[in-house]
Amino acid sequence: MRNVAVVGVQWGDEGKGKVVDWLSERADVVVRFQGGHNAGHTLVVDGTTYKLSLLPSGVVRGKPSIIGNGVVIDPWALLEEIDRLGVQGVFVTPETLHIAENASLILPLHRNLDVAREAAAGSGKIGTTGRGIGPAYEDKVARRAVRMCDLADDSVLSTRIERLAAHHNALLRGMGQPEVDGGEVLASVRALVPKLLPFSDTVWRRLEEYRLAGKRILFEGAQGSMLDVDHGTYPFVTSSNTVAAQAATGSGVGPGRIGYVLGICKAYTTRVGAGPFPTELFDETGRLIGERGREFGTVTGRPRRCGWFDATLVRQAVTVGGVDGIALTKLDVLDGLPSLQVCTGYRLDGEVIHHLPALMSAQSRVEPIYETHEGWQQSTQGVRSWGGLPAAAIKYVRRIEELIGTPVALLSTSPEREDTIFVSDPFSG
């Protein structure tokens, strides 16, 4: 048996929830290793729908679940999510949920700064969710962050928040925005300490104990590879590393402990918010894909931009992320289309290239090079075997495998978890 890391290989929203749910049933431990509550996924278990943002998917099955040090945690959002699951009959306790003691917290002043910056940016907005994720990561890197372990020492906590407030107020003054009251922030955090501190744990050591005991560990990522702060479409990215290597850094395990990397991608492409999108569709086909695929953000509710499958983009994410296999989702959304386009490269200023360049202005100028594929008129919804797929659909999937250089390990044909064609089990090969 091997451990598995699951990452998106597009711009997020690839349907990780269903795949992670299937894997979490087979895992012994589930770890969330980056991001914040700006990412969300939906699980459907025994007919009940669970919407998660911060909590690892293992909690709905009572599996030991870990929030790693690579995550930034909004304590209020976390406790609200725990309470919401409790109403649904899933009770999250310090016995089932362990939060890294060195994980950084998102405070109200981070949200204030996030919103103020976006408002001041005007046409230069990057499309943040306004939840304070970026400012919290900034403070972490600048060594100003309040961490879980600081909740255990009030003198440390008060000093950290005083320093944070001074820094944030200087920025707010510069934007002509009201300043934050550090005393109020401290009081609000103190009120949460009894509820939050019991979840604090030495996660890296606990994970090593699980490993030595032969437990199967699932590392669960958020967003997608093209939103990675280093490897994505910068600056229209999230504030953390979203590639599989972060599974090790963001949880406290060695990179050799990650045995298999499963990349998730849709049979087409979507994106939320601003930023380059070479294969975006602005016509009736794009609207139809969005409608069929119910393309609205789990957390924000924002409509997603839709476009054709970009094999060049996915191949780049597969290479950078060390992806071993792909879970291809939402194939059924393409049912009935007369023909399909797949991007196999770009044309930039008259030159053919086979990667998305790092330069922002170049990203905005690339033009997709398409190859056309025959569509299929039969329904693929709910199909659970290769034999049940139309020949044109099989040909489409096989061509995607060739173009991205990675095999399809799972193929999803509806939101229902059982409607999946399994080629191989990532845990066992």
Annotated catalytic residues are 13, 41
d(CA 33, CA 11): 17
Query: Is residue 354 within a helix (H) or strand (E), and if so which, with residue range?
Result: none
CA max distance for the chain: 67
> For the chain, what is the radius of gyration of the CA atoms?
22
- Helix, strand or coil, per DSSP, at residue 106: coil
Exposed e or buried b per residue across 174-204, where buried means at least 16 C-beta atoms within 10 angstroms of its C-beta: eeebeebebeebbeebeeeeeebbebbbebb
Q: How far apart are CA 56 and CA 32, in angstroms?
A: 6
Q: What is the DSSP string of 62-78?
A: T--EEE-TTBEE-HHHH
Which region, left, alpha or beta, applies to residue 316 given φ > 0 means left and ψ of -120 to 50 means alpha? alpha
217-220 and 269-271 beta bridge pairing: unpaired
Go through 36-58 and write b for each residue having 16 or more CB atoms within 10 A of its CB, e for each that does not: bbbbbbebebeeeebebbbbbbb
Burial of 149 (0-12, 13-18, 19+ CB in 10 A): middle
Residue type, 368: P
